[in-house]
Amino acid sequence: MTGTKEGAKPRVLLFLNRLVIGGPAIDVISMAGFLQNDFELLIIYGEKESHEVEATYLLSKYPNLQLKKIPSLRRSINPFLNIAVFFSVIKIINSFKPSIVHTHGAVPGVVGRLAAFFCRIPVIIHTYHGHFFHSYFNKAFSNAIILIEKTLSKISTVIIATSSRQLKDLVDKYKIAPLNKVTVIELGIDDAFLAASSQEGTASFAAKYKVNADTIAVGIIARIVKVKNFPLFVEIVAKVLKKTKKKIVFFVIGDGYLKADIQQLLSDKGIGWSSNEFPNIDASVIFTSWISNIGEALSALDIVVLTSNNEGTGLSLAESQYVGIPVVATNVGGVPDTVIDGETGFLVSPTDADIFAEKLLLLIEDEPLRKEMGAAAKVFARNKFSKQQEIERLKQLYLKQLEK
């Protein structure tokens, strides 16, 4: 544990699944960086998976945070490990003595809320950055998750959704919690952090991957896992490459257990790909793995896509638009609250590769449209995804609950 305590501030325990490159960690760490002026924070988190990269770079951007790792906390659902995590969290709660426990992610949401309830913590808050109610598991297991979440909502003081669509899912579609217990606080983007990242790495990314002025770079920024629907991405790549004479390179920015399967799908379709392990100078698809400062990649991309079957908000879409990149994404979860269809990008059914490829080709072939949508995206995202607004809303929520 690092940092110094200032007992006059209300104590808040933030419980994060993993400190890895990805939306939840970026949001929670940046949020904590700003909130530590008003609250004494302790962030606890678990062990990363083998294909993930710990986002330790965030700690240099947001210094003086207190963190504690729980090695037994894993992403997989293991009852025996989670019992050990439960007692570890109880021990931490009894030592830190927070007034608020705020959980982020599925396993922290279960274990953390139960531990907080057991320890009689007055304020228990959970944020849904996404949900597992469909597209992750089979129907029986998904229904079991829904039942568990309904039960946990009864011991939660407040539930936070990151978009209005997600709120409707929680309240109306899956009936996880009543409306009076759910509030929307949209993710915010730290402009200073994203701009600094971009300035540091612009030239190096373009040079490393030979992105020339005449190259149109299309990126997907996501974990390579089932819910992100990478087979759809491969179909789209195949259709686009057949229908355009433009010089195009697709970047897969991320990693995951399905990477080898997706690379094989590309090979089966005769599409050349490259990775750090298997370089190929003629590749149409480049696997970069994780990039710590995403601004480096965004500075070189012309279009960003997302093919998910289920999505919370889609931080990659928000960040891309924030720097003026138009997007094409599947119309799922909270994505419709993140993109203005036909203005800052296009939304497409997750089952229609033809339409997705058509919309992507429209942006590839029409440079004025691409620039027009990019400009609109920048205005929209900077108004909607304000970090200051996110911090202020969360701060007021904490204080209001503490008053109660």
280 φψ region: left (φ > 0), alpha (ψ -120 to 50), beta (else): beta
Q: What is the pLDDT of residues 80-112, one digit of tens each?
A: 778 989 999 999 999 999 999 999 988 899 999
Does pLDDT of 340 surpass 50?
Answer: yes
Closest to 371 measured CA to CA, from 317, 325, 323: 325
Does pLDDT of 271 surpass 50?
Answer: yes
pLDDT at 61: 87
pLDDT at 322: 94
pLDDT at 380: 97
pLDDT at 139: 77
Q: What is the pLDDT of residues 288-327, one digit of tens each?
A: 999 887 888 898 999 999 999 988 778 899 999 999 999 9
Domains and their CATH numbers in the chain: 11-188+386-403 (3.40.50.2000), 191-384 (3.40.50.2000)
pLDDT at 3: 37
Angle between helices 367-384 and 353-365 (to 10 degrees): 100
CB 339 within 8 A of CB 359: no
pLDDT at 366: 97
pTM of the model: 0.86
What is the three-class DSSP state of 266? helix
